[in-house]
Amino acid sequence: MSGETKFAFRTENLVKTYGQGDGQVDALRGVNVEIPAKEFVVLLGPSGSGKSTLLNILGGLDKPTSGKVYFNDIEVSAMKDKAMTKYRRHNVGFIFQQYNLLPSLTALENVELVTEIAKQPLPAKQALEMVGLTDRMNHFPSQMSGGELQRVAIARAIAKQPSVLFCDEPTGALDSQTGRTILNILQDINENLGTSIIIVTHAVATAAMADRVINFADGNIVDIRTNAHKAKADEIEW
Amino acid sequence: MSSLDRKLFRDLRRMKWQAIAIGLVMALGVMVLVMMDGLVVSLEETKKSYYEDYKLADIFAPTQAAQSQVLVELAKIDGVENVQGRVRGSILIDMPNSKTGVLAQALSLPNQGKAQINDVFLSAGRMIAPDVANEILLLNSFADAHNIKVGEAITAIIGGQKQQFNVVGVAQAPEFLFAAMPGELLPDDTRFAVIWMQQRYLEDITGLAGKFNEAIFLLDDDADTTNILTKIDDILDPHGGYGAYGVEDLVSNRFISEEIKGAKASAQALPPLFLGIAAFLIFIVISRIIQAERQQIGLLKAFGYSSAEIGRHYLKFIIIIALGGAILGSVAGVYGGLELAGVYQIYYKFPFLEFRVDYQAIFIGNLVSVVAATIGGSYILKNIFKLNPAVAMHAATPPDFSKSIRFGSWAKRLFNQPSRMIIRTLLRHPIRALGAMIAIASGMSLSVAMISLMASFDKSIEMSFEVIDRSDAMVNFVQPMPIDVVAELSKIAGIELVEPFRAVPAILQNGQLTHKSLISGLVAAPELNRAVNVEFEAIPIVETGIILASALAEKLQVGVGDDLTLKIRSGARPTLNIKVAAITETLVGSPVYMRLASLNKILDQGELISGVYIKMDKSQQAAIYDELKSTPYILAVSITADAKAAFKKIMDTGAGAVRYVMAIIAFVITFGIVFNSAKIAFAEGGRDLACLRSIGYTKGEAAYVLLGELAIVTLVSLPIGCVLGYYLSFATATAFSTDLYKIPAEVNFESFFLASLAVVVATIVSGWLVKRNIDKIDLVSVLKSE
Ligand SMILES: Nc1ncnc2c1ncn2[C@@H]1O[C@H](COP(=O)(O)OP(=O)(O)OP(=O)(O)O)[C@@H](O)[C@H]1O
Ligand SMILES: [Mg+2]
C-alpha cells in the first residue's frame, strides 16, 4: 500500500444501549476504531460482547445511540433514510448469523433479488458458481442444508460486488470442510475484487487469515493486532 | 418478472385459501352494494318506461257522472296536454271456486282506436273488436291466478242476471301494477280482477250513456299540478267530483313507489353495512398479514431496497386481493341484481325489465375495498419502515413479554404452560385481539340483524292479523245500509260477532299538506278491527276528533290536539275542522278512524254503514259464505285468512325475499371473518407451534395453544356481537319499513342464539381446518427458515 492509509471505516465513541432502566443493556460502550480499506478483518469476542451490534451499525442496519460512524469519510450515522438505503444498496453486503433467505424464493431468485437493484452486479449464476452451488440454484431454502443456505447467502452478498462485506459468523453452523470452502471464497473475494471483509467468528483460528484482528469484550475493543503473514484458508486448523 | 413479483405470486399461492377467504368477504360486501343499487336503478327505470310507453295518466278525476262536453272545458285548463273521459264500474264475476264471487273493476276502452291515456299492454290474445258487445280483456294476473285462458268465457252477474263475456285477450296496465281490492292494502291476484270493455257497452251496463265517471289527464312537462287539481275540482264539483288526485296518489303507483323506495332504503342502509364490515375485516387481516412479513421487510431493507420499493411490492399484494375480491363482487353483483330484478319484475307485474348496471356502485365498492386494504397495509408498513432493518429483521416482533403478567404460584397451578402462552399472547397484543374480536362481532351482528329481520316480518304479520285485525271476514255492502242490518246479520247461524263500519272517501288537509284517504267510522270499543298504540294495546275510538296512523300524522305534520281540515268526498261533501284525538300504530297502510256515530252525524244521511267485520264459528264457514253471497245488498266478502296469506306472500316474494339472501350473505361473511382470524393466528404462531412440537409437545397440545386463542377471541366476541346486533336490528327494521307496511324491530333470543351458533360453528370448522395445517407443519422447514 502506498500513500496515506485510506480508511473504510472510522468510528468515534460509538455507543449502543438497548432498553432502559433496570433492563438496560450497554451493547457498545464508546467504540473508537479505524478499519483501513480492502483489509480482511476478523472480529473476535465472547458471546454477547456486542460484535453483531457493531456490524449492524457499520453496515447501516441499525443506528448508534450516540457516536459517529464514517465510511470513506462520509458520516453514515448522520444519513437520512434515503441515503442509508443507497448506502446499503450499493456499498455493503451482508452475511447474517442466521441465513435469512426469503423462503418463497429459490436460491437463484434470492440472489437475483439483490442483483436486480445493484449497480454493477455479477450475474446471479456466476455468484452461485463461485460458491459452488450451480446444481442447487432452483431449490427453495427449505430444500437445502445449512451449509448450502449459507453459501446462497454469501452468493447473494457478493453478487452486488460491494466494497465491504460483513459476515456475522458465516461458518458458525458448518463443518470444517464447508467452513474452509467458504473462507476460501471470502479470501478470494478480498484479494481479487479488493472487497473489504469484516468477519465475526468464534473460530479463533480464522484470525490467522486476517490483516487485522480486533478483540472485543463487554461492548468495547480490548486490543487490535495486525498479522505480518496472512495464512491461506486451506492452512487453517479447526 | 422481477424477483419481488415472483415472491408476490408465490406468497399469494401459499396464502391462497386465506386470500380467497378475504377476497370473498370483500366480494360479498361489494356484491350486496352493486346488486341492491342495480336492482333499485333497474326498477326505477323499468317503472318509468312502462309508465311512459303506456301513457299512465298524470291526474285521475273520478266523479259521479259527467256529460262528455265537460271534457272540452277540462281540456282548456292551462297545462293539460290531453284529457279523456272513461267509465269505471264494478262487475261481480261468478267464479266456480270462489265462495263469494269476485268483484271486478270494469274499465272502458275507447270505442275506436287505441287508448291515448292509460293504455293497456296486451300479454296474450287480441284487442277487443269494435262493435262486439261481449268481448273483454281480462287482467293478466287474475287470469293466471284462476287459469283462465284466452278464448274462454266468464260469467258476470249484472243486475241479478247472469251474462257471459268472452275473454279475447289478457292484458296488464301501469295503473294496476299493484293488485289490491279497493279499500284493502295488500295485493291478492286471486281476488283482484279488472275487465276492459268498449266504452259504449260499459256505459250501458253502468247506466251512464253519453257520460263518463272518470277523467284522466296527461299534463305538460312543466305543468303546475297543484293548481290544475284545484281547477279540475272546481269544474267537476257540480258533477259530483270525488276529488282529483295526482298519479302519486294512485294506489298502485303509491304501492310500487313505496316498495321501490323501500328497496332503495334498504339498498342505502344494508350494503354500506355489509361493505363496511367487509372493509373492516380486510383492514384487520391485511394489517396482520403485513405485520407477519416484518422480518422479510427488514431483510429487504438490509439489501438496500427502499421503503418505496418495498411498499409498492406489498401494495401490489394487497390490491390484488382487495381488487380481486371487489371485481368478483361487482360481477356477482351485476348478475345478482339481474336475477333479483327478474324476481321483482314478476312480482311487480312489469311486462318488461329495463336492467341497468349501476356503475357508480361498482366504482364505490371497488374504491372502498382498495382503500380499506391499503390503509390497513400502509399503516403497518409505515410503522415497520420506521424501524431500523436490524430491528425489523429480528425474529418476529421481539415479544417483550417482560411487561406481560407474571404468573404467581397459584396461577401456575391453575394454568399449564400452554395456557399461559395463550393468555400472554392475547395480553401482549391487546389491540390485535380486540380487532379480531370486533371483526368477528360485527360479522355476527349482521347475522343477528338479518335473523331478527325475519322474526320482524313474522311479528308484523302476527300483529296485523291477531292484534289489530281480529276479524274472520270483512263484508262490503253495495251501498250504505241502515245500521239495523247488523242485527239481521248477527242472526245468521255461526256468526258470533258483527261489528259495523262506515268508510267514506275524504281529503285530509293541513295547510299545503294533503292526503286522500278512506275514513273508517268504528264503534266506540271495537273488538275486531282495532286501533292500537305503540304497545299494541287497543285504544278507544273517541267520540270527537279523528285518529290517525302514525305514518300519516308524520306526513301531514300533525300531532295529538292539532287541527285538520277534513273534506268529505261523499254525500253533501261537507268540509269541517277536526282535532287529532289520537295517533295509532299500524303495520299495514295508513288508516284514519272516527267514531261511527260522529261520522254519520257529519254526513247527515242517517245511521248508515258501509259494511261489517264479522267473527264466526269456523266449522260453519261454508254455509255462512253461501248465505252472505246470496244476500242482495252484500257486494263482497273479504276473508281475513286470504288477506293474511297474501300478506305473507308479498313479504316472502318482494322486498322481503331480500332478507333471506342477506341472511345467507351475513353468515358467509361471518364465516369468512372467523376463518381469516384462525388462519392469521396460525400464520403468526406457526413458528411457536413448530417449536413446541420440536420439544416434544403433541400435535394436540400445540393445536391447543393456537385454537385456545381462537376460542377465547370467539367467546369474547359473542356478547359484543349480540349488543351490536341488537342496535343493528333497529336500523335494518327501519330500513325495511315503508309507508305501506312497517316492520317492527324484533330482537329475540332466537336471533342471538342462531347468530352465536353460526359463529361457534364457523369457529369449529375454521379450527378444524387450521388444525389440519398444524398437523402438517414441517418442523424442519419452519425452524430453518427463520
Ligand atoms: N434488541 C435487543 N434488545 C435488547 N438487548 C439486545 C438486543 N440486541 C442485542 N442485545 C444485547 O446486546 C448485547 C450485544 O449483543 P450482540 O448481538 O451484539 O452480541 P454478539 O457479540 O454478537 O454475541 P454472539 O456472539 O452471541 O452473537 C447482548 O448482551 C444482547 O443481549
Ligand atoms: Mg452475534
Q: Residue B82 — very low, low, confident or very high, per pLDDT cuts 50/70/90?
A: very high
CA distance B178 to B254: 9
Please give the angle made by the CA atoms of B706, B284 and B701, to the nearest 5 degrees. 0
Strand pairing class (B563-568; B495-510) = antiparallel
- Select the residue of A61, A112, A116 nearest B390 (Cβ to Cβ): A61
Rounded to a whole number, what is the distance in Å from the CA of A93 to chain B's nearest CA? Answer: 7
Domain A7-235, CATH class in plain words: alpha beta
Residue with cell 273508517: B520
Mean pLDDT across chain A: 85
pLDDT digits (tens, 9 = 90+) for B40-52: 899 899 999 999 9
Ligand 2 centre to CA of B310 (Å) is 27
Instruction: Give CA–CA dist A183/A163, Å, rounded.
Output: 18
Reading the block at residue B211, the C-alpha cell is 257520460
Q: Which of B296, B388, B389 sits opposite A102 (nearest CB)?
A: B296
Q: Which residue of A has its CA nearest to B393?
A: A100
Buried b (16+ CB within 10 A) or exposed e, B430-451: eebbbbbbbbbbbbbbbbbbbb
Contact A56 B296 (CB under 8 A): no
Please count the CA atoms within 13 angstroms of the CA of A238 that sit on its side-chain side.
Answer: 14
Inter-chain CB pairs, A–B, below 8 Å: 89
Ligand 1 pocket test, candidate residues A14, A44, A52, most atoms within 8 A of CB? A52
**At residue B402, does pLDDT exceed 50?**
no
The whole-angstrom separation of Cα B508 and Cα A111 is 84
Q: B495-510 and B608-616 as β-strands: parallel, antiparallel, unpaired?
A: antiparallel
Residue nearest (by alpha carbon) to ligand 1 atom 6: A18
Q: Does A103 touch chain B (CB under 8 A)?
A: yes
All three cell numbers of B449: 340483524
Q: Give the SS3 label for residue B416.
A: coil
Q: What angle, rounded to 10 degrees, do the helices at B251-292 and B16-53 form? A: 160
Q: How far apart are CA B580 and CA B647, in angstroms?
A: 29
Of B11, B309, B385, the CB nearest to A104: B11
Res A1: pLDDT: 39
Taking an 8 Å cut-off on Cβ atoms, the answer to whether B305 and A86 are in contact is no
Please compute the mean of the pLDDT values over residues B178-183 and round it to a whole number. 67
pLDDT in tens, B537-558: 888 888 889 999 888 888 889 9
CB B84 within 8 A of CB B216: yes
pLDDT at A2 over 50: no
- The answer to whether A80 contacts chain B (CB < 8 Å) is no
- CA distance to partner chain B, nearest, from residue A134 (Å): 18
Nearest CA to ligand 1 atom 18: A50
> How far is Cα B380 from Cα B671, in angstroms, rounded to an integer?
25
First to last CA, chain A: 31
Using one digit for the tens of pLDDT, what is the confidence trace for B635-653? 778 788 877 887 777 677 6
Instruction: Please report which confidence band the pLDDT of residue B277 belongs to, taking 50, 70 and 90 as the band edges.
Output: confident
Report CA(A5)–ligand 2 centroid distance (Å): 29
pLDDT (0 to 100) of residue A102: 82
| 3-class secondary structure, B61 | strand
- Residue B408 pLDDT: 60
CA of A54 to the centre of ligand 1 (A): 10
**Lowest mean pLDDT segment, chosen from A52-61, A118-127, B391-400, B503-512:** B391-400
Residue A49 CA to ligand 1 center (angstroms) comes to 7
Contact B548, B558 (CB under 8 A): yes
**b/e per residue B168-185 (b: at least 16 CB within 10 A):** bbbbbbbbbbbbbbebbb
Over residues A175-187, mean pLDDT: 82
Instruction: Compute the distance from residue A92 Cα to the ligand 1 centre, in Å.
Output: 21
Closest C-alpha among B262, B269, B321, B587 to residue B446: B269
* Partner residue facing B7 (CB), from A59, A90, A102: A102
Reported for B534-542, long-range contacts at CB under 8 A and 24+ positions apart, including other chains, are B534/B585, B536/B463, B536/B467, B536/B468, B536/B585, B539/B582, B539/B584, B541/B593, B541/B594, B541/B595, B541/B596, B542/B581, B542/B582, B542/B595
CB-based contact B725:B248 (threshold 8 Å):
no
Tell me the shortest Cα–Cα distance from B690 to chain A, in angstroms.
14
Give whole-number Cα distances, B713 to A178, B423, B438, B721, in Å.
48, 11, 9, 12
Q: DSSP per residue over B296-345, as a string?
A: HHHHHHHHT--HHHHHHHHHHHHHHHHHHHHHHHHHHHHHHHHHHHHHHH
Looking at chain A from residue 151 to 170, which residues have their Cβ under 8 Å from any Cβ of chain B?
156
What is the enclosing helix (H) or strand (E) of B393?
Answer: helix B389-393
Ligand having the closest approach to the CA of A45: 1
Query: CA-CA distance, B286 to B283, in Å (whole number)?
Result: 5
Q: How far is the CA of B92 from the centre of ligand 1 (A)?
A: 98
Nearest CB among B385, B389, B781 relative to A61 is that of B389
CA distance A88 to A59: 7
Please name which ligand lies nearest the alpha carbon of A27. Answer: 1
* 8 Å CB contact of A62 and B390: yes
| Chain B residue with minimum CA distance to A54 | B390
Q: What is the ipTM of this complex?
A: 0.82
When comparing pLDDT for B315 and A146, which is higher? B315
Cell numbers 432498553 label which residue?
A19
Strand B546-549 relative to strand B575-584, pairing: parallel
Q: Which residue minimizes the CA distance to atom 31 of ligand 1?
A: A48
Ranges A234-238, B200-204, B423-427: which has the least confidence: A234-238
The string of pLDDT tens digits covering residues A93-144 is 888 877 778 878 889 988 988 888 888 888 999 989 888 888 988 888 888 8
Q: Give me B749's grid cell.
A: 333470543
Q: Are B277 and B443 in contact (CB under 8 A)?
A: yes
The residue behind cell 483489509 is A39
- Residue B374's SS3 state is helix
pLDDT in tens, B132-154: 888 999 999 899 888 999 999 99
Tell me the helix, strand and coil percentages in chain B, rounded to 5. 55, 20, 25
Distance from CA of A137 to the nearest CA of B (A): 14
Nearest residue (by CA) to ligand 1, atom 12, is A27
Q: Cβ of B302 under 8 Å from any chain A Cβ?
A: yes
Q: Does B785 touch chain A (CB under 8 A)?
A: yes
What's the farthest any 2 CA atoms get from each other in chain B? 104
Between positions 392 and 421 of B, the ones with CB within 8 A of A are 393, 402
Instruction: Say if residues A200 and A169 touch (Cβ distance below 8 Å).
Output: yes
Going by the DSSP 8-state scheme, the letter that residue B139 receives in this structure is E
**3-state SS string over B244-278?**
CEEHHHCHHHHHHHHHHHHHHHHHHHHHHHHHHHH
Q: Which helix (H) or strand (E) holds B610?
A: strand B608-616
B606-619, pLDDT tens digit by residue?
A: 899 999 999 999 88
Give the strand pairing for B513-522 and B495-510.
antiparallel
Torsion angle of C-alpha atoms B279, B282, B283, B287, degrees rounded to 10 = 180
* Chain B residues touching A114 at Cβ < 8 A: 303-304
Q: What's chain B's average pLDDT?
A: 84
Relative orientation angle of helices B430-462 and B699-736, to the nearest 10 degrees: 40
Q: Helix crossing, B417-428 with B657-694: angle to 10°?
A: 120
What is the predicted pLDDT for the residue at B362? 93
Query: What ligand has the least distance to the C-alpha of A214?
Result: 1
CB contact under 8 A, B302 and A114: no
More confident position, B418 or B215 = B215
Let me know how long chain A is: 238
pTM exceeding 0.90: no
Locate B229 and state its grid cell.
Answer: 287539481
DSSP chain A: --SSPPEEEEEEEEEEEES-GGG-EEEEEEEEEEEETT-EEEEE--TTSSHHHHHHHHTTSS--SEEEEEETTEEGGG--HHHHHHHHHHTEEEE-SS----TTS-HHHHHHHHHTT-SSPPPHHHHHHHTT-GGGTT--GGGS-HHHHHHHHHHHHHTT--SEEEEESTTTTS-HHHHHHHHHHHHHHHHHH--EEEEE-S-GGGGGG-SEEEEEETTEEEEEEE-SSPPPGGG---
Neighbours of ion ligand 2 (CB under 5 A): A 52
Q: Is A83 on the interface with B (CB under 8 A)?
A: no
For residue B181, what pLDDT band results from cuts at 50, 70 and 90?
Answer: low
Q: CB under 8 Å to B758, separation ≥6 — which residues?
A: B444, B447, B667, B670, B671
Residues B667-685, mean pLDDT to the nearest whole number: 83
| Residues contacting residue B531 through CB under 8 Å, at least 6 positions apart | B468, B522, B538, B539, B541, B547, B582, B584, B591, B593
A23-45 pLDDT, tens digit each: 788 999 999 999 988 899 999 99
pLDDT band at B398 (very low <50, low <70, confident <90, very high): very low
| Cα-to-chain-centroid distance, residue A192 | 17
Residue ID of nearest Cα to ligand 1 atom 30: A48
pLDDT value at residue B778: 64
Looking from the CA of B273 toward its CB, the CA atoms found within 13 Å total: 27
Amino acid at B636: A
Distance from CA of B697 to the nearest CA of A (A): 23
Please identify, by atom number, the ligand 1 atom nearest to the C-alpha of residue A53. Answer: 18
Residue B785 is nearest to which of A89, A113, A141, comparing CB atoms? A141
- B586: pLDDT strictly greater than 80: no
Written as nine digits, the cell of B400 is 417483550
Which ligand places an atom closest to the C-alpha of B394? 1
Which of A109, A112, A125 has the most B C-beta neighbours within 10 Å, making it the best mutation to test the interface with B? A109
The amino acid present at B47, given as its one-letter code, is: K
| Contact criterion met (CB < 8 Å) for B14 and A104 | yes
The answer to whether B391 faces chain A, any CB pair under 8 Å, is yes
Ligand 1 closest atom vs CA B394: 1
Interatomic CA distance for residues B160 and B151, integer angstroms: 25
Predicted confidence band of residue B689 (pLDDT cuts 50, 70, 90): confident
Residue B169 has pLDDT above 70, yes or no: yes
Ligand 1 binding site (Cβ under 6 Å of any ligand atom) = A 18-19, 25, 27, 45, 47-53; B 398
Residue A12 alpha carbon to ligand 1 centre in Å: 20
A57 against B15, higher pLDDT: A57
Taking alpha carbons only, the member of B148, B146, B193 closest to residue B169 is: B148
Judge whether A105 is closer than 8 Å to chain B, CB to CB.
Answer: yes
Distance B766 CA to ligand 1 centre (A): 40
Q: How far is A125 from chain B (nearest CA, A)?
A: 14
